[in-house]
């Protein structure tokens, strides 16, 4: 079963309507005192988690909303927000 | 994760498929940028094709019906003689993609004695012999061979991304 995602505006849709927007890495770092190492860390470095991760998606073939979901990368299914440990 | 090292890698599933065996019709690999497809006939007679990557990282190695349809369309446009031929087998593997489509070959940085050879994406098989030889030299001497210097992990931080002109740039989530 291919990926389905729940857009906050359009509801549950086929995953191919969306563009993956990267892992959730927090807000963009402040430009004051920003080093190349910190920028590289923010832009490119990924946790590559085998499990539930929070990530961004863009509804490219739909409403154009940017939103976050929790998805389990070992099953490729969207999940509910996990209980905080 | 165990060493606390993060990598600029996204693990995407890459799908491939073969058709039922056919009498010999292709004696080359043919590929087309316009149709976004390649095909090769194996010794058993199957036409092997594929190379689609879903752009979301996952570790499932699952295949999708979306791609069977897409590849059937692409292949029948590129090779009309294959219209009506059935796909026999369809599988997927994991491709670790880097932002510049080039592997990461590094060692002793940040941890002394820890070497990494990763980020090959979908094209590591062809280079494994040469890479093995140079990485062995690196490990034995402790000095990075000139051949491996452009592939260090620090190249991204220093904005020295490799220009892999032969690689398609539309697959990684970064693109």
pTM as predicted: 0.83
Contact assessment for residue B117 and residue B136, using Cβ atoms and an 8 Å cutoff: no
pLDDT digits (tens, 9 = 90+) for B131-161: 999 999 999 998 999 999 999 999 988 888 8
B60 and A44: CB-CB below 8 Å? no
pLDDT of residue B136: 94
* The residue to which tokens 């190695």 are assigned: B61
Residues of B in contact with A15 (CB under 8 A): 54, 56
- What domains can you pick out in chain B, each with its CATH number? 10-97 (3.30.9.10), 104-155 (no CATH)
Using a CB-CB cut-off of 8 Å, the residues of chain A touching B159 are: 36
pLDDT one-digit tens code per residue, A9-32: 999 999 999 999 989 999 999 989
**Distance of alpha carbon B1 from alpha carbon B135, whole angstroms:** 22
DSSP string across B130-148: HHHHHHHHHHHHSS--GGG
Instruction: For residue A22, give the chain B residue with the closest CA.
Output: B173
Condensed to tens digits (0 to 9), the pLDDT of residues B21-50 reads: 999 999 999 988 888 788 999 999 999 998
Successive 10-residue mean pLDDT values, chain A, 85 residues:
88 92 91 89 88 93 93 90 68
pLDDT exceeds cutoff 70 at B167: no
A:B CB pairs within 8 Å: 65
Question: Using an 8 Å Cβ cutoff, are B114 and B108 in contact?
Answer: yes
Name the band, by pLDDT with cuts 50, 70 and 90, for residue B175.
very low
Please, what's the largest Cα pairwise distance for chain B?
A: 57
Domains of chain A, each with CATH number or no CATH: 4-26+39-78 (3.30.2270.10)
3-state SS class at B44: coil
């Amino acid at each position: 079963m291919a990926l389905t995602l729940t857009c906050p505006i359009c509801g549950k849709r086929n995953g191919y309507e969306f563009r993956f927007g990267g892992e959730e890495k927090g807000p963009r770092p402040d430009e004051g005192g920003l080093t190349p190492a910190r920028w590289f860390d923010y832009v490119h470095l990924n946790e590559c988690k085998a499990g539930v991760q929070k990530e961004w998606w863009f509804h490219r073939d739909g409403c154009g909303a940017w939103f976050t979901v929790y998805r389990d990368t070992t099953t490729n299914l969207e999940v509910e927000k996990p209980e905080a440990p | 994760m165990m060493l606390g090292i993060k990598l600029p890698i996204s693990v995407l599933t890459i799908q491939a498929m073969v058709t039922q065996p056919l009498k010999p019709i292709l004696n080359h690999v043919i590929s087309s940028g316009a149709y976004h497809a390649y095909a090769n006939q194996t010794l058993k007679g199957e036409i092997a094709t594929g190379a689609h990557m879903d752009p979301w990282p996952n570790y499932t190695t699952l295949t999708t019906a979306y791609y069977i349809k897409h590849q059937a369309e692409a292949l029948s446009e590129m090779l009309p003689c294959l219209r009506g031929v059935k796909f026999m087998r369809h599988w997927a593997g994991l491709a670790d993609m880097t932002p510049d489509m080039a592997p990461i070959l590094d060692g002793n940085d940040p941890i002394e004695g820890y070497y990494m050879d990763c980020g090959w994406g979908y094209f590591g098989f062809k280079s494994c012999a040469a890479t093995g030889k140079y990485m062995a030299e690196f490990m034995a001497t402790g000095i990075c061979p000139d051949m491996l210097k452009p592939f260090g992990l620090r190249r991204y931080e220093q904005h020295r991304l490799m220009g892999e002109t032969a690689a398609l740039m539309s697959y990684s989530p970064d693109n």
